[in-house]
Structure formats: C-alpha cells, structure tokens
Structure 1
Amino acid sequence: MTAILTLPAPGAARALPPVPGRTTAPVLRRVAAGTARWATRALVGIAVLAFAGLALGPHAFGYRTMTMLTGSMAPVIDPGDVVITTPLAVADVTEGMIISYHIPIDDHRVVTHRVIDVDHAADGTVTVQTRGDANDHPDPWTAVLEGDTAYQVQAVIPEVGQVITALRTPWINHLLVYGAPTLLAGWLLLTIWRPTTTDDTTHDQDEEART
C-alpha cells in the first residue's frame, strides 16, 4: 500500500507556538507602568483639590473649615472630622441649627454645638444656649452672638482632620515642603525624557526575519 502525504502549498508557513513568557511579560510591564502613572496623577490631583478646598476656598467663597477635636457632637460629628460652615445672619439663627461660635468664658475658644434655645432681643441682640449631641446637659453658659454673622455647619468631611493634624507635625511638614516638590520635579523630568523601550519590538522583528 502506498501512503499519500499532503504537502503544504508553496509559500505557506506554519504558525509557531508562542514562546512562554514572551507575550505576557511586556503586557504586564505596560499595565504596571500605566497604573503607576495614573495613580501618581490621581494623588497629585487629590492633593491639589484638598489644598484648594481647605486653603484657598475659604478666601474665595467665604466658608470656613475647622477640625472637630472632641466627641461632644458624636455621632453626627466625630473627632477628626472637618466641618464646613457658611455665614448666616445672626437674626436667622434658630433652634436645631449646629453653629460654630466663641464661648463667653475661659479661653473663648470656638465650639461647634447645636442650638437648643435662642432669644432675639428687641435691640437685635441674639443670645443662644447650646448643647453637644453626645452630652447629657446643656453647655454651662449662654452666649451672645457678636456681630451680624454666625456660622452654620453645612457639611462634615469624615476623618480628613486626622490627615491635616498629621500633616502639621514638624517632620511631615518638612518632608512635604522640601520632598514633595523634588519628587514632582523628578517625575515630570522622567515623563518628558523617558526613553522609548524598543528591546521587545526589535527582538520580535529579528525572530520574524529569521523565520
């Protein structure tokens, strides 16, 4: 019996099996590099937005930010949360509002508590009594709101105050002042002058030429 073998057509080429690791490694490197670039851009963008919101925004739009240091308003406002307050006419202060104001005793520090009683005098003087939501008793004072403007809490940003407090520590502050610009400049230089990787492409072309 004579066996008949089928020959490939002239000029036809058989596909060679892929070399293990040759196709996945470059893809993984590109994915990792792209992820690192976008992560860096995202961090820079978040830092810029946070700086604009906390440092520039109050001057441009008139709101104020402050970090809650105690748990007197928990669970509405926890320690480390940042509150955003907006100006409000003193005459418009009513019960139930959460306001930030200077207490009339001791060091006259600013507190952020809820108004539980308000008195509008005929001469326009507004006197309030407040209490922290987590406290069992009202604050041991009544406060006369000075000026024409009070500040009402409009929003709470959780945990951001913890980050701000950490950033104010001396060694982190120095690191941000001197290290962050250096890292940013280095990243920009690498982005501009980074050479294009051609090793894998050249090797693939050599393999095709040999086949």
Structure 2
Amino acid sequence: MGTSTARPRDRHSPAPPASASPTRRGWSRRDGWPALVLGTVAECYLVLVLALTAIAVVPLALGWQGSVVQTGSMRPHVNPGDVVLSTALPADSPVPLGGVVQFRTAAPGGGERTVLHRIVAPAEEQGEWVTAGDANHDVDSSTLSREDITGQARLLVRWVGLPSVWLRTGELAWVAAWVALTLAAVAVRVWSWPRREDEDAPTPSPGAGAGPPAPALGRRTFLAAALAVTAGGTVLAGREPVWAGFTARTATAGNTFRVGTWPTLALGRVASFALLAATRVANEAPYGIGSSVVGSVGVSPGTTVSGFWSWDITGSVERNTATARNARADALALYDTTRARAATRAASTTVTGTLPPGVAHRNGPVHVTGTLTLDARGDASAVFVITGTSVTFTAGSSVVLVNGASADRVLFLGTSTVTVSEGAYVRGVVLANGDVSLVRATVAGRVVSTQGAVLLRAATIAAP
C-alpha cells in the first residue's frame, strides 16, 4: 500500500479563518449566582418604578387630577408620598357620603390649600357636610359645601410621590439616596444584558476587519428614556400637593376610598330585649300600677325583677340566664364601641331642634328638651348617637324620627346615668353605664344599663 504525504502549505497562502466564537458581555449563571440575582433585582425595581409611574401619569392625559399626599391624617390606607388620582364630581351626582374628596380650604399662613379628607356626616346646616381624616379623632373645624369639592378620589398609587415629599420637606439625603439607587439599578441592568459581537452592530462593509463590539444603543436608549420618564412622572404627578393636618387626638381607622353607608349600631343579642339591666329591674309605681314592658326583660349578673304584675311584661323574664348573660356581653361591647366612635360634631348642653345623622360627644351632662327631630334625609342606614356624662330627657320632651330614621339606629348614651322625666316620649335605644330611671314616661325602643339598675315608675317601654 502506498503512503500519502501531506502537501505542505504554501507560506504565501492565507491562514484559515479562526472559528468565530460569540463575544458576550453581561452576567449569567456562568458568572455566579450573586451577579445573576443582582441583575434580576435591578430589573424588578425598574419595572416596579416604571409601572407605578405609568399608572400615576397616564390618567392625567385623560383629564384626571394627580396629587401627592403630604401628611398622614388619612392613614393607614393613604400615606405621605402616595399619589391620589381624582375626577371632578359630576353635577348630577350626589355628594359621596363616606367617600374621600379633595377640596380647597384656608391655609394656616394665609391663602388656600388642597385637602384630602373623608365626608363623614351631613352638617346641621342644609347643604353642608362634615369632613375628617381617617386617622383623626376629631372632625374638621369647618364644614364643606358641594361647591368646595374639587374632586373625588378614584385611584391610589403607592410611593410614587415620595421624592416630591422629600423635596418639599428638605429631606435631601433621601432624595440623593433614591437617585443613587435608581442610577445604580439602571447601570446594573445595562451591564447585565447579554450581548453578542454582532448584536446591534452595523453591517460591516466588504473587506472591513472585525472591529470592537458595538454598544447596545437600543437597550441603553430605552433605559435612559425609562429613567427620564420615572423622574419626569414623579414631578408631574406631584405638581399638586394635598394636605391632611392632624387634630389634637388621633386614632387609626381602617378605611378605603369606597363610598360606604353608616356603620350599624351593633345591638347583637341586646335586640332580644326591651329592657336589660345588670343589677336589678324594679317597678316602683304604687301597687305596681301603670308600668309595662312590651318585649322581654333580662337581668345579669343580678337576678331581681320586682314590682310587676304578670300581665305587665309581654315577653319572657330572664334572670341571669345564658340568654341574659350573652345579651349583657353584647351591651358592654356596644357601650365600648360607641364611646370609641369618632365624633362628627360636638354635643351642646341642651339638645333640641332638628339634627342630621352623626355622632355627638360631650364631656358633660346633656339635656334633651322640647322636640328633638332626627332627620335621616332619606338614608335608611343613617345613625344618630348622642353621648354625655349623663343624659336627661326633660319633662314633656319628645324625640321624633323622620325621613327614614329608625329607632334601632338611634342611641342616647350616658356614661353615668340616664333620666327620662315625666311626660317624655323617647324613640331609640337608651344606654347607661349606671342606673336608668323612667317616671311616667315612654320609650319606644330599648332601655339598657350595663352596670346598674333600671327603675320604672308608671313608665312604658316598647321594643320596636
């Protein structure tokens, strides 16, 4: 067999081209998990910032208003740095009782400012409304008319306005930290993008040698534009600051932008009784004549129910039974929640005339005189609460419910005692921490004492 001999290569012939291997830059799993995780975190941060900014900015092109919340009286659901998007209130729409609105009001240093608060109740003056911050214990000092409302809150975007808040409050260190973080995220994401030698590079001319890899201008341009949109969107969304100053006392309440109805009075198992006491129930009329209870009577932990004829009580009599104990537990809960409920107005010493729905607290005695008309204004969910250290219905006084008001949504609360004087006619729930006394009077509702006794003298209690 013959042997073959390799022909020597002519030294003048060109060398065969080296095998083309893709040149890449950027991080991948081969560069280690820390690099890959860092690039992923940077991308997630940028996507989040861009998404929030887009949500805050795009509605502005549709005629919505964008405002940055500056203070914290609408916590916990609306915080400083959040962007609130609102729309004008249509002329044919009712005022959104329970809704969050923006309105113009006098600023402490003069001029006006925009405030974001919730409408919590109609004011005593027709056409006026009471507002309050969700985190404020007290209502705003001035009422609101429909003409004052500049917008109703529709959408909440978290955190986007924080740079605006920091700039307004002089917290430049936070601004610098945010800018540095965003620039670092952009740099990390640009560097971590995989690239090939021919990616984004212009087509070389024939005979041109291989040059250095061309930069990924498309991606870098995109990220630069994204950064510009982020900064510009933050400034744009924050062009109108809104304020919600704290009052003297604060209390957190979990609320949202949703327009709601008045919270019910949680009677619970108290609703099974017309009369409920802690220590005793007594009919003190001479010979037990003239007092009656239309409904059930309960006492717990006491057991005394005295002075009634068998026909004076139409329902059952529960002497420290499980039913009475459960009802008293609910009565204590009702007392505590009512005391903690934020006031929509202050109660005066004398309560009379016509009142809209709302909660009135007074750290002192309250006297109901003449005719007190509670006007629900067509809202079947309306609640009326009047509290004082003691509540007295003066002789001949009466409580009238109109336009949808309901006795089980009316509550008169005395932190010590309640007295219903001769000739008084009360509609609603009478609740006291101490004794309740009724003298030749009528309550169309319920009478409850959480810690004391209920004493009747020729009085009538009729459950609704």
TM-score (norm 1): 0.54
Structure of larger gyration radius:
2
1 or 2 for the larger relative contact order (CA 8 Å, sep ≥6)? Answer: 1
Question: Once the 2 structures are TM-superposed, how far is the Cα of residue 44 of structure 1 from its aligned partner?
Answer: 2.4
Give the structure 1 partner of residue 59 of structure 2.
Answer: 58
2:108 is the alignment partner of 1:129 = no
Q: Which residue type is aligned with residue 62 of structure 1?
A: G
Q: Which residue type is aligned with residue 49 of structure 1?
A: A
Question: Once the 2 structures are TM-superposed, how far is the Cα of residue 99 of structure 1 from its aligned partner?
Answer: 0.6
- Alpha carbon RMSD of aligned pairs, Å? 4.3
Cα pair distance change 1:78/1:192, threshold 3 Å: same
Counterpart Cα distance in 1 of 2:101 and 2:189: 45
Cα pair distance change 1:78/1:174, threshold 3 Å: closer
Give the structure 2 partner of residue 70 of structure 1.
Answer: 71
Q: Which residue type is aligned with residue 108 of structure 1?
A: E
2:37 aligns with one of 35, 58, 65: 35
2:50 is the alignment partner of 1:48 = yes
> Which structure is higher in strand share?
2
2:157 is the alignment partner of 1:154 = no
Cα pair distance change 1:151/1:31, threshold 3 Å: same
2:111 is the alignment partner of 1:107 = yes
Give the structure 2 partner of residue 86 of structure 1.
Answer: 87
Give the structure 2 partner of residue 19 of structure 1.
Answer: none
Structure 2 regions of 5+ residues with no counterpart?
1-27, 198-464
1:2-21 pair list within 5 angstroms? none
1:180 aligns with one of 180, 183, 191: 183
1:132-147 pair list within 5 angstroms? 132-146=133-147
Counterpart Cα distance in 2 of 1:175 and 1:135: 31
Counterpart Cα distance in 2 of 1:112 and 1:33: 44
Structure 1 regions of 5+ residues with no counterpart?
1-25, 195-211
Question: Once the 2 structures are TM-superposed, how far is the Cα of residue 95 of structure 1 from its aligned partner?
Answer: 1.6
Deviations 1:61-94 (A, max 9, x none): 3333333333322334344444333333254323
TM-score (norm 2): 0.28
SS across alignment from 1:89: coil
Counterpart Cα distance in 1 of 2:196 and 2:115: 52
Q: 8 Å contact 2:69–2:81 — kept in the other structure?
A: yes
Q: 8 Å contact 2:130–2:140 — kept in the other structure?
A: yes
Counterpart Cα distance in 2 of 1:129 and 1:92: 15
